[in-house]
Amino acid sequence: MYRYRCERCRTTSPPVRTRPEAEAERDRHRALAHAGHIPDGERIVRQPAPPRPPLATTVKQALATTAVIAALAIAAWVRLLA
């Protein structure tokens, strides 16, 4: 995720997925707010990725999902036998 920051206007764009999208945001801002001029202190910043859950949490979620699927499969199998 990237954001465009204009220090002169003290504004930051909403996050975008790619650097070219942030550059397009920069170009739009320059055209609208600065008549195409390059303001001092502008920059494109990379927003850090959101923190990932601990591995233990991911493993617990996978095991819980597997248990639910297994229970549903067993229930369907028992119904077929009855």
Question: pLDDT of 4-19, one tens digit each?
Answer: 999 999 999 999 999 9
d(CA 6, CA 29): 9
> pTM above 0.85?
no
Burial of residue 33, with CB atoms counted within 10 A of its CB: 0-12 exposed, 13-18 middle, 19 or more buried:
middle
Tell me, what's the pLDDT at 4?
96
d(CA 64, CA 77): 20
Indicate the pLDDT class of residue 61, thresholds 50, 70 and 90.
confident
**Could you report the per-residue pLDDT of 22-32, keeping only the tens digit for each?**
999 999 999 99
